[in-house]
A and B are shown apart, each in its own frame.
Chain A
Amino acid sequence: MSRLLVAGLILFPFIGLVLAFPARFDWDEAIGNTVVYVIVLGFVNVWLGIGTAWWLMFTDSKWKTPVEWFTFLPLFIPVLASMFGMYIALAPLGLVGTHIGVGLVLLVTTLPYSIRLAYNAMYVIGRPLLEQTLTLAPWSRFGLVLFPLLKETIRTIVLFSTVIVLSQFVLVQLMGAGLIPTVTTQIYQAYAGNDVSLALQNTWVLILVPVLLYVGLGGLFGIWIRLVKGRLQ
């Protein structure tokens, strides 16, 4: 009975959505911006997240502790609080109202989580096993061993950064100065303006982007691992 209740609660919002599947689907600037942010930030988060976690794993640098603290910051400081600091810092550089400004703010919001996810995964794999990869050339190290070993972590980082990017309204609105439309900023206007058709379309974009990315990445990793194993047979 309790399982049925939980399933019902989870599925309830989707029933309405399925019943109201948008009649039209028009690709616009907001969807384009959103997709570009999701892909670029997903890529940068994986790259910098794994790179920083690797550095944290192996370094004896005096900067190790401050960087570790930085990765904990989002757990202590709400994004809205740190956002004004970023706004004040980026405004004199002329980055407010630009794609770079919005991208930077979204990156600062997502990167600490990505570093922590990657670091935790490496911690579980263990330093001795990771050290074994150091005897391989860098391309082999990442392509043949680290990416396959970290594939679920990479998918989680991408999913996590995607969901955060998609859910940020105030950040994008403030840093974009109202000049950078995304699906999230547009959806509020659509609801406010009672444009049900646009609101439904954007809602479905919000659902489909992470799902497609997660499933797509899973497929890509499957192909990648088959290629790796084929190379070693």
Chain B
Amino acid sequence: MSLVLSGVQKRFKDRDVLRGIDLEIPNGEIHALVGVSGSGKSTLLRIIAGLETHDSGTVTWEETPLDGVPPHLRQITMLSQSPLLFPHLTVGENVTLATPNRLSQEAETWLARVRLPGRYNAEIHELSGGEQQRVSFARALAASPRLILLDEPFTNLDPELKYELQRLIRDLVRELGLTALLVTHDREEAMLVADQVTLLEAGRVRASGTPQALAETESTFGDFVELDGKPYPSLHIEVTDSPTDDAVQLVRSFTRFGHRLGEYRRKQGDYVILPRHESFRDGETYYLRKRQGGI
């Protein structure tokens, strides 16, 4: 096993965020941590990266404890929701900074790998959000990491770009034989990108397995939908054409494991994946409500 977490606990003031996490991730695996906001998934990632300390338990890589090892000596890189590029440097300089020998040729190669060839001297503000995220990914890979942590890196992207980048990252991580840990609250994303999935719920591991296995056994596989300020498992929510206070727009229809699903955009701008009626059409407006007549 490459990355092993054993009994990891973390408390913030009066709240237990992680309540004894045990997790083993073999070399070369893309592993997804799925859970709602506040389930502790990002805190766990920050602990692995060395940006946060844990109260008890151990984190080891190849049987070497990481406790007390500063972030720059862990050979772990992290990709966040925002690109977080340094504004005083050009696109290429941001990537060169991360390469072990500070070689601009290496940075050029990485930029080409993320489909940004010839953009070395471009200023950061000249790039779109998606392009900036690709630069950020190139920077993460250029550091020659042994583990790459992906903290909801696709959240702020529009659906088209999101799918393009998901595939790009998945394919490059596989090709390079890296170990990756992806944090997401999006079931579809975990299914697309990950080999294995761990469901986190209130700081505990609820279930682990392949995306396919979990899709069949876990009705709450990552997807919670907030309604009236409270999170509900997606199984408890239905989409209807009868007007309610929660209007959504169907942006994409697809089928997974025989289930007809839709990606719906909410008024606040976030996306939810929920079952879709055969008559539903892309671009049309529908409504969310609690499922009628029980589950």
Assess whether A232 is in contact with B51, with CB atoms less than 8 Å apart: no
- Contacts A134-B51, A134-B71, A135-B72 hold; do A233 and B93 have CB atoms under 8 A apart? yes
The answer to the question of B168 belonging to the interface, with a C-beta cut-off of 8 Å to chain A, is no
Assess whether A229 is in contact with B89, with CB atoms less than 8 Å apart: yes
Q: Determine, out of A20-28, A93-101, A144-152, A195-203, the stretch whose residues face the partner at the interface.
A: A144-152
> Out of B80, B87, B88, which one reaches A225, CB within 8 Å?
B88
Measured CB to CB, the closest approach of chain B to A171, in angstroms, equals: 38
The answer to the question of B273 belonging to the interface, with a C-beta cut-off of 8 Å to chain A, is no
The answer to the question of A129 belonging to the interface, with a C-beta cut-off of 8 Å to chain B, is yes
Chain B residues in 8 Å Cβ range of A137: 72
Chain B residues in 8 Å Cβ range of A120: none
- Contacts A134-B50, A135-B143 hold; do A232 and B104 have CB atoms under 8 A apart? yes
With CB as the reference atom, state the residue of chain B lying closest to A149: B88
Interface residues in A119-164 by Cβ distance below 8 A to B read: 128-129, 131-132, 134-138, 140-141, 144-145, 148-149
> Out of B72, B80, B89, B104, which one reaches A136, CB within 8 Å?
B72
CA distance A145 to B86 in the complex (A): 8
Chain A residues in 8 Å Cβ range of B76: 135
CA distance A149 to B88 in the complex (A): 7
With CB as the reference atom, state the residue of chain A lying closest to B76: A135
Assess whether A136 is in contact with B97, with CB atoms less than 8 Å apart: yes
Measured CB to CB, the closest approach of chain A to B60, in angstroms, equals: 20
Assess whether A131 is in contact with B51, with CB atoms less than 8 Å apart: yes
Interface residues in B93-130 by Cβ distance below 8 A to A read: 93, 96-98, 102, 104
Measured CB to CB, the closest approach of chain A to B150, in angstroms, equals: 15
Assess whether B93 is in contact with A135, with CB atoms less than 8 Å apart: no
- Contacts A134-B50, A134-B72, A136-B72 hold; do A232 and B84 have CB atoms under 8 A apart? no
Assess whether A128 is in contact with B80, with CB atoms less than 8 Å apart: yes
Measured CB to CB, the closest approach of chain B to A65, in angstroms, equals: 13
Q: What 0/1 pattern do residues 60 to 94 of B give for CB contact below 8 A with A?
A: 00000000001110001110101010111110110
Chain B residues in 8 Å Cβ range of A144: 97
Measured CB to CB, the closest approach of chain B to A60, in angstroms, equals: 8
Interface residues in A5-53 by Cβ distance below 8 A to B read: none
- Contacts A128-B82, A129-B86 hold; do A135 and B77 have CB atoms under 8 A apart? yes
5 further A-B pairs in the complex, CB-CB below 8 A; given A135-B71, A225-B88: A129-B84, A132-B86, A135-B76, A141-B72, A232-B102
